[in-house]
Structures are given as structure tokens and as C-alpha cells.
Amino acid sequence: MSAHHIFVVDDEPDIRETVKDILEDEGFVVIAAENAEAARHALRERRPDLMLLDIWMPDLDGISLLKEWAEDGDGLPCPIIMMSGHGTVETAVEATRLGAYDFLEKPLSMAKLLLTVERALEADKLVKENVGLRRRTPLVHEPVGRSAVMQRLREQVKRIAQHDTWVLITGEPGSGRETFARFLHSQSGRKERPFVDLGTSALTRGNAARELFGSEENGRIHYGSLEQAAGGTLLLDEVADMDLEAQGQLLGALDTGSFLRVAGSEPVPIDVRIVAATQRDLKEDVQSGHFREDLFYHLNVVPLHIPPLREHPEDIPDLLNHYVDFFAAHEKLSYRRFSVGAQNFLRNYSWPGNIRELKNLVQRLLILGAGDEITLSEVEAALGNTPVVSVQPVEGMVSFDQPLRQARELFEKAYLDYQLEKHNGNVSKMAKEAGMERTHLYRKLRSLGIEIKERR
């Protein structure tokens, strides 16, 4: 497991060394700095997981340094615990206002210091998890299914996870590539560290280096995906979409084991497991000249192929039950069961969108349907691109026993989810039919946590 990195910034050598020794005894990796300039330099070398920052220092006080980082476009680089032997209530209030996690008075109680550090790291972890949930990041769970193929895949992933090797996951859209990547991370020694999902289609020409490696501009540091995932796992989603320039930049970093931020001068070491995922055949892309052969062999250390849902239909009943339970628990939707006829029909359905299509179907039926049982006719209507609302009474679309705002949000989610499915993720067509400006539509999708890339 990769240990947490902590920066200790204090102008008193005895305090620096004492705190450093105690934290190292607890298994942390500690870097000490004696003033604000040394702290800035340390940040250029590595992004820490937490910082202990003294207030009174000879070159610049800690509050001013905290304010400098707080006003940066990227915000504070990590959770920060302030320390002072001459603190006041006003100073502590100002530090908290600027985003500091806590304020410790000197002389330091080492027991309180360790407890505060542990709580700050745990709070930061929870914040990141909550951000992921708001973006509708799937909760990590063991891939569902009792078929022989799913049992074999789960065991294979558990074996791979014990080795810090890179993995190339292939499979059709919606087949569960990201689920298996997250499951791999959760089974590995890096599971307590970040999991960062980078959609490589966002690496447009000219910005790839900044997104991957970060940048240093006017003394301010923007951390790229490789540093955000430090100690953990970086998923390169749809890696085949990377242009050749971005491929070359990534390959150079992988070859040397380090990279330079844009406009930076200090090399930053790479400490991540890279998992690449794609729906395309990279060997064909290599032959056609669209993907670098040397990068392919870097990424394809261990190949893992996820079969389409139509090749293991015996798992469909378990998947239906799983997602009914999931949405009932996490989105407070009413529990409904699939009738035997509906389940048999879905076992014989071709599932072009694979597990993602099944998940979206379950969510739609729970939001728009009424009654304890999901019938065959209801399922046929939903899969036939006929909105379920057309065959249900208005009062059955959402529960009336909830606040208007929550009911409206559920309807908007269902409506926009249906429109995305209908137009295969084409936002222009969707905006035209919905009668919305594209910019307003994008804003609405983000506010509801609906990922457009899932439909493509």
C-alpha cells in the first residue's frame, strides 16, 4: 500500500523533527520545510495528502500562505492543519474561513496531533467520495452474476490485483469495464488511495499535457490526473480516443517514470497503477496507424476482456434484483419486483447497451412505473422507445408523498435520461426535441448528475 504523504512546515527545527519522527513512526511519508518558500518548492515536487502549517514564519505568515492557495483557481492543494503558539480566536476563525481543517495550539499534544491528522485524512476521503456520488460515480461493488464466466472473471481480477501491474480492459460499451476497473482497485494494495477516471476523449490537442501532467502558472500549481491519482489507480477510459500527440506525451512519461508539469522544471515521479479501457481492438488501431505500438505494449501487460451481456444471460435476474435494490436504497425509489414474464422476456433480449442499458431500464421503470410488480407489457413499452408515462396515469409517474422539488427532479431525471437513450447521447438532437438551449441543457444534465458519455 502507498503511504500518505504529509508536509510539515514550521520554522522551528525541533518541532519539525519531532513531528516528522512521530508521523514516520505511524507509517506516513513526511517532508519537512522551514518556511513558506520551502513549502512552495515542496508543492512543486509533489502534491501532499495533508499539510501541517505553522502560522508565524520568518518570510511569510501561514495565514497569508493559506490565503494565497485558497484564492487559487484549484483551491487548497490538500487538507491543511494550522499550528501556532501565539494563536488567537480571530486567527483560528480566519484560518477556518480560508478552508483550514483544524487549528492546533503549541506546545503540541502528540496524541491530539495524530488524532487530528487521522480525522483530516478520513474527512478528505469522505469529501472525495461524496463528490463522486454527486457525479453519479458507481459505488464499488463486486461485479454481479453467478454464471461461470463472471465467477472466472472475478477470480482473475482478484489475482491480478495482488500484483502492481498495468491492465488493459476491453469490451463493448456498457459491458462493465469501469466496474471491473474499480473492483480491481478495491482488491489491491492501493485501495485506500485515489481512483481517478480520466476520459481520454477530453484530451484535446494542446491540452493533453496539462490534463495529464498539470501545470505551473504564475507560481500556482495545477495538479494533473497522474498526480491526483498518486499512490492509487488511474483509469484511462476509452484510451483508443487519445490522439497521437497525447499518446507520445504519455509514453515519454511512462518510459522515464516521471514527467514535467507544463512550464515546470522539477520532474515528478509516477506512482500509479494504470488501467486502460477501450471498446476498440487496439491491435487493429496499431496496424492502421491510429495507436502507437510501443504504447500498446506498455498498457497491455495483462489483458482482461469483459463479455457482452448477451453471452451470459443467466445473470440477468440477479442484475435486475441488484439494481432494484440499489435504486431503492440509494435514490429512495419505491421497490418493485419484475414479474416472471418480464424476466423471461429480458433474458431473451439482445441488450445492445449491455449492463448499462439494463441499469438505466430498471431506474426508468422504478421512477415512472406504479404498483408492486413490473409487468411484461411495461417492459415492452419501455424497450420499444415508448415512454412509460404514456401507459401510466400521471399520478403513477412519481410519488406525490414527497416535496415538490424532489418530485420534479425525479421527473426531470427520467425525462432527460429517456431523451439521451432515444437520441444515443446526441445532445444537439436532444436539445431540439426538448426545446432547450444546448448550454442550458448541459447545465441541467450536470446539476442532475447525468453523464452524457455513458450513452455514447
pLDDT in tens, 19-46: 999 999 999 999 999 998 888 888 888 8
- Choose the CATH number for 5-134 among 3.30.200.20, 3.40.50.2300, 3.40.980.10, 3.40.30.10: 3.40.50.2300
Check if the beta carbon of residue 39 is closer than 8 Å to that of residue 186: no
d(CA 135, CA 122): 20
Q: Model confidence over 155-181: pLDDT tens digits?
A: 999 999 999 999 999 999 999 999 999
- Give the pLDDT score at 40: 86
Return the CATH number of the domain spanning residue range 148-307. 3.40.50.300
Residue 219 CA to chain centroid, in angstroms?
Answer: 28
pTM over 0.75: no
Least confident of 203-217, 233-247, 266-280, 364-378: 203-217
- pLDDT per residue over 251-296, tens digit each? 999 999 999 999 888 888 999 999 999 999 999 999 999 999 999 9
Burial class of residue 140 in the structure, from the number of CB atoms within 10 Å of its CB (0-12 exposed, 13-18 middle, 19+ buried) = middle
- The cell for 90 is 480571530
Distances (CA, A) of 165 to 141, 156, 242, 273, 348: 21, 13, 21, 7, 38
Q: What value does the mean pLDDT take over residues 88-117?
A: 88
Per-residue pLDDT for 91 more than 90?
Answer: no
The larger pLDDT score, comparing residue 60 to residue 425, is at 60
Would the pLDDT of 130 be above 70?
A: no
pLDDT in tens, 328-385: 988 889 999 999 999 999 999 999 999 999 999 999 999 988 889 999 999 998 887 4
Between CA 89 and CA 57 the distance in angstroms is: 19
Of the pLDDT bands very low, low, confident and very high (cuts 50, 70, 90), residue 137 is very low
What beta strand segments (E) does 55-166 contain? 80-84, 102-105
Q: How far apart are CA 237 and CA 153, in angstroms?
A: 20
CB atoms inside a 10 Å sphere around CB 338: 23
Res 139 pLDDT > 70: no
What is the share, in percent, of the chain residues with pLDDT greater than 90? 48
- What pLDDT does 114 receive? 93
Residue tagged 444515443 (cell numbers)? 424
Task: Give the whole-number percent of the chain exceeding pLDDT 70.
Answer: 89
Query: In the structure, what pLDDT confidence band is assigned to residue 448 with cuts at 50, 70 and 90?
Result: confident
Q: What is the DSSP letter of 334?
A: P
**Strands 233-237 and 273-278, bridge-based pairing:** parallel
Lowest mean pLDDT among 23-32, 227-236, 431-440: 431-440
Q: Do domains 5-134 and 310-455 have the same CATH topology?
A: no
Per-residue pLDDT averaged across 411-420, rounded? Answer: 80
User: Spelled out in words, what is the top-level CATH class assigned to the domain 310-455?
Assistant: mainly alpha
- Domains of the chain: which residue ranges? 5-134, 148-307, 310-455
CB of 49 closer than 8 Å to CB of 93: no
Question: Is residue 317 reached through a cis peptide bond, with omega within 30 degrees of 0 on the bond before it?
Answer: no
DSSP H or E run through 123 = helix 110-134
As a whole number, the mean pLDDT across the chain is 85
**Model confidence at 248, in pLDDT bands (50, 70, 90)?**
very high
The phi, psi pair for 273, rounded to 5°, reads -95, 130
Return the half-sphere exposure (C-beta side, CA atoms, 13 A cut-off) of residue 375.
Answer: 9
pLDDT band, residue 232 (cuts 50/70/90) = very high
